[in-house]
């Protein structure tokens, strides 16, 4: 049967009729067979025609083959139709071929698969990709064991970059065949990054099967999938899914799951770096840690145990008791050698980086302290004491310079260096102080002094030879808050040197301070320096005071040493004695462990301070919003007051200007008519009445010009000067008012933020404009007596007609004189005023704009402050809402840092058979 199927597939069915040993052409053999069969009563010619069609096909006579296959009616008919489709395909008649292929109906699985594969090829050639995909998928589904069908499908999907179907094929075939080759194919897809869109659960059954087939390949595929999901939204879903799967597998730690163990370690540590909320992690971290412990290889068994124990402390009962017990047993019996210092610094750096990224400050003080604790070549001696105890004199003696002329207000560390350099360290910044004067200024400063640490690097043989640094502190005065601020950096010290005044040593106040020091840093040894010994009257009394003080100290602190000091003693001898004293109190054994403990202390206090800072940030935001809202009301009030002032000043200035102008207008209106009427004296009986109106008009214009230039303009100028001085006073009042306003706001701001300066250049512009307007005026000739009024027309006409007749002159004289003396000159006055005041009216129109310019800068500053304050309120309110809506935004990362800290502490006791306290 398999032979027949092969013949039908390869179109070699005709060989059934051929004798291999006969050298006769198949056409002849089949023709003779056909003739022989045709002679029978009931001939069966289908099989011969089928075979003849194959031979014609083999010889590329496709039309003859089709003709033969069209007449097949027995069980070979479906194969004949398939062959006919093949022939049409070879003829390039693809559409006809497709019709024949799709019309075939058969239960023969081999035939159907062959038809599908040929259709698949045809669809690709016709670029009917969707049809090709559907066809090859059906072939794989119906007959996956058919030779090469899955390989053909895989090659096609990869060529088309149809990764969804390629992945589906690989997963299904891997599960069906249980062949590791298909798992390897799937792994290549994962490495290409084309499986990210699949839900993690899609691979679960295949992974379970692979675990039973090949555990190394299982580990490799999980690792690839894990890394592929790492930056995807489905990452947490993957972690949940894979750890649920691992929990249900029989995992043996002895199988050496090195890669998977390391992957769990990296994942867990990245998850607790402070980027995620705890509610996002609680669902899958217990399973992750459980599996990590089950998978842990020798290099990670301690850290995985520590992680389990620290998480269980944070969330009791979240991990099964059996796993917790196993972790406790492993951590107490397994030795771990790791760089504790490096691990500790890494944790602290993570905390500080998180704090800076979340606007919680740069914490430069802590960074500086960590630098000191990492310097194992230098021991730090913390010098403390009450105010006036003599600390400064001691420091000056050791350093050989008057570096301190009085008590310091900041913590100062004096250390040896090749060149002098002075640094000021605050939480916000590292600042290099340019010189000694700046250092003295910082030393004398009182406000916020305790927020600074000063590091004085200076070449000093004593400090270099003894490999020490002195940390001087402000004198303690009994104020509990100030004492805590001074002593909060105690843990940077390896030793404490407490300075006592020999005149009243070991007073009650000093005992209280020492008690506070022991409470804050019980593990730091305390020694004493008895200063001002030169002030004791005689040597015997000095010895007695030293012995009594030492005895009293030893009754409370048996291990403490005491050193007698005086600024009046020989410096060289004092330094030699002090060097011996320093060597006697230096303690170098286990210094790494002690420094590590200090680092842990600063990590814990940093976490606590950041938690407190979150509360402070919220309180500061609330206070800032309240304060800014009050300021906004005040600023808006100031804007309105400025606007009212501007309106008021504009009204007053324009009004006073108009009053001056109206007074001048009234003077002109009162003076000019009389001046024109007086021109009647120019009319004589012997005047030439034919031209008298021209002469009078000219004279009138001349007198008006003279009056305006010599009388009106000077008066106008004087009035302008007085008006500008009045405006100056008004502006000065406004500026004083704005100065007071700005000063008030600046006091509230606590800085010189608002400078409300008006533009007095406006007055200079006015002076220039008024000088120009009153310096000269040229009146254009006004037609006073040349108008076409009836009376003027009659007079001019009469003058021209009758002026030459002597007996009429008396009559004209009287008429002209009467006319000039009684004429209404209002039109002329209007024309004169219009000319004269034209430039002054333009000036008047600009006054309102000029006053606005005067107040422009304060208006811009105040309005800008309003906008700035409003924006600050909005920004702070949004931040406050964010804090209130997501309180875990600060709390959760710090809680996770606490878990890392506890994990580190558990690791430090590995193999030592001891438990940490929790």
Express each pLDDT in 571-585 by its tens digit: 888 889 889 999 988
pLDDT band at 149 (very low <50, low <70, confident <90, very high): very high
Q: How far from chain centre, in Å, is Cα 235?
A: 24
Highest mean pLDDT among 189-203, 340-354, 890-904: 189-203
Residues 142 and 112: beta-carbon distance below 8 Å:
yes
pLDDT above 60 (res 797): no
Between β-strands 453-457 and 421-425, what pairing exists: parallel, antiparallel or unpaired? antiparallel
Q: Give the mean pLDDT of the chain.
A: 86
Mean pLDDT of the 418-422 span = 88
Residue with tokens 């003779």: 32
pLDDT above 50 (res 753): yes
Q: Whole-prediction pTM value?
A: 0.66
Give phi and psi for 383, each to the nearest 5.
-100, 120
Hey, which bits of 296-371 come out as E strands?
none
- For the chain, what is the total number of helices (H) and then of strands (E)? 38, 9
pLDDT band at 803 (very low <50, low <70, confident <90, very high): very low
Q: What is the pLDDT of residues 584-642, one digit of tens each?
A: 888 767 788 888 888 888 888 888 888 887 787 788 889 999 999 999 999 999 999 99
The DSSP code sequence of 210-263 is HHHH-HHHHHHHHHHHHHHHTTSTTHHHHHHHHHHHHHTS---GGG--HHHHHH
pLDDT above 60 (res 34): yes
Burial profile 732-751: b = 16 or more Cβ within 10 angstroms, e = fewer: eebbeebeebbeebeeeeee
Structure-token pair, residue 763: 């007055």
CA distance 214 to 212: 6
Give phi and psi for 381, each to the nearest 5.
-110, 120
* 318 vs 3: which has the higher pLDDT: 318
């Amino acid at each position: 049967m398999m032979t027949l199927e092969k013949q039908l597939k390869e179109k070699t069915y005709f060989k059934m009729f051929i004798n291999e040993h006969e050298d006769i052409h198949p056409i002849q053999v089949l023709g003779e067979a056909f003739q022989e069969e045709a002679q029978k009563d009931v001939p069966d010619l289908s099989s011969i025609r089928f075979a003849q069609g194959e031979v014609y096909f083999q010889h590329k006579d496709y039309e003859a083959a089709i003709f033969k296959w069209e007449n097949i009616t027995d069980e070979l008919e479906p194969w004949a139709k398939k062959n006919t489709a093949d022939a049409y395909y070879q003829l390039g008649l693809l559409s006809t071929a497709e019709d024949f292929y799709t019309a075939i109906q058969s239960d023969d699985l081999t035939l159907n698969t062959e038809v599908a594969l040929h259709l698949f090829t045809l669809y690709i050639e016709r670029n009917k990709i969707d049809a090709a995909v559907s066809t090859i998928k059906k072939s794989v589904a119906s007959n996956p064991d058919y030779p090469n069908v899955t390989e053909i499908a895989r090659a096609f999907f990869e060529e088309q970059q149809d990764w969804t179907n390629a992945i589906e094929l690989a997963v299904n075939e891997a599960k069906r065949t249980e062949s590791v080759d298909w798992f390897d194919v799937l792994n290549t897809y994962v490495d290409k990054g084309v499986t990210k869109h699949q839900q993690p659960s899609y691979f679960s059954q295949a992974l379970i099967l692979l675990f039973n087939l090949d555990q190394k390949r299982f580990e490799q595929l999980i690792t690839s999938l894990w890394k592929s999901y790492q930056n995807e939204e489905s990452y947490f879903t993957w972690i949940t899914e894979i750890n649920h799967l691992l929990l249900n597998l029989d995992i043996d730690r002895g199988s050496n799951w090195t890669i998977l163990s390391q992957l769990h370690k990296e994942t867990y540590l990245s998850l607790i770096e402070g980027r995620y909320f705890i509610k996002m992690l609680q669902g899958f971290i217990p399973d992750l840690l459980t599996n990590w412990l089950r998978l842990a290889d020798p290099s990670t068994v301690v850290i995985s145990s520590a992680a389990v124990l620290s998480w269980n402390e944070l969330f009791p009962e979240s991990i099964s008791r059996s796993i917790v017990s196993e972790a406790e047993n492993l951590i107490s019996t397994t030795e771990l050698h790791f760089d504790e210092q490096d691990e500790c610094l890494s944790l602290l750096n993570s905390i500080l980086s998180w704090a800076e990224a979340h606007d919680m400050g740069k914490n430069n003080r802590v960074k500086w302290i960590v630098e000191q604790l990492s310097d194992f070549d230098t021991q730090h001696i913390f010098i403390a004491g009450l105010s006036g105890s003599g600390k400064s004199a001691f420091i000056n003696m050791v350093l050989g310079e008057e570096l301190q002329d009085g008590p310091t207000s900041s913590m100062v560390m004096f250390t040896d260096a090749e060149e002098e350099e002075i640094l000021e360290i605050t939480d916000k910044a590292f600042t290099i102080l340019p010189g000694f004067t700046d250092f003295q200024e910082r030393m004398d400063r009182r406000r916020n002094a305790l927020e600074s640490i000063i590091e004085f690097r200076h070449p000093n043989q004593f400090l270099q030879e003894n490999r020490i640094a002195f940390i001087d502190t402000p004198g303690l005065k009994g104020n509990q808050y100030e004492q805590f601020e001074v002593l909060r950096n105690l843990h940077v010290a390896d030793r404490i040197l407490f300075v006592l005044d020999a005149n009243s040593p070991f007073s009650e106040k000093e005992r209280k301070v020492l008690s506070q020091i022991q409470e804050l840093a019980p593990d730091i040894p305390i020694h004493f320096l008895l200063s001002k010994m030169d002030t004791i009257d005689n040597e015997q009394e000095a010895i007695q005071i030293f012995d009594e003080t030492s005895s009293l100290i030893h009754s409370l602190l048996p291990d403490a040493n005491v050193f007698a000091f005086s600024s009046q003693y020989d410096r060289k001898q004092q330094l030699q004695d002090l060097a011996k004293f320093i060597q006697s109190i230096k303690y170098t054994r286990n210094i790494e462990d002690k420094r590590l403990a200090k680092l842990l202390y600063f990590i814990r206090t940093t976490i606590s301070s950041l938690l407190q800072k979150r509360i402070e940030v919220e309180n500061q935001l609330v206070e800032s919003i309240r304060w800014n809202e009050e300021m906004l009301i005040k600023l808006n009030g100031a804007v309105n007051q400025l606007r009212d002032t501007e309106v008021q000043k504009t009204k007053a200035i324009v009004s006073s200007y108009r009053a001056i102008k109206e007074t001048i207008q009234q003077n002109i209106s009162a003076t000019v008519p009389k001046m024109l009427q007086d021109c009647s004296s120019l009319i004589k009986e012997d005047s030439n009445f034919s031209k008298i109106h021209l002469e009078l008009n000219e004279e009138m214009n001349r007198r008006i010009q003279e009056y305006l230039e010599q009388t009106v303009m000077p008066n106008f100028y004087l009035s302008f000067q007085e008006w500008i001085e009045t405006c100056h006073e008004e502006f000065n009042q406004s500026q004083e008012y704005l100065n007071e306003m700005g000063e008030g706001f600046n006091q509230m701001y606590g800085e010189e933020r608002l400078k409300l300066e008006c533009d007095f250049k406006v007055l200079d512009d006015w002076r220039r404009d008024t000088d120009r307007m009153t310096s000269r005026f040229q009146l254009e000739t006004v037609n006073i007596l040349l108008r076409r009024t009836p009376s003027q027309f009659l007079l001019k006409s009469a003058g021209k007609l009758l002026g030459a007749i002597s007996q009429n002159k008396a009559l004209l004289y009287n008429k002209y004189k009467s006319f000039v003396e009684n004429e209404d000159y209002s039109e002329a006055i209007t024309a004169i005023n219009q000319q004269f005041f034209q430039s002054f009216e333009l000036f008047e129109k600009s006054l309102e704009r000029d006053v606005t310019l005067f107040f422009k800068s304060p208006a811009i500053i105040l309005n800008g402050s309003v906008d700035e304050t409003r924006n600050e309120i909005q920004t702070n309110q949004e931040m406050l809402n964010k804090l209130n809506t997501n309180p875990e935004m600060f709390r959760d990362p710090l809680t996770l840092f606490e878990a890392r800290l506890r994990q580190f502490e558990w690791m430090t006791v590995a193999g030592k058979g001891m438990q940490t306290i929790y």
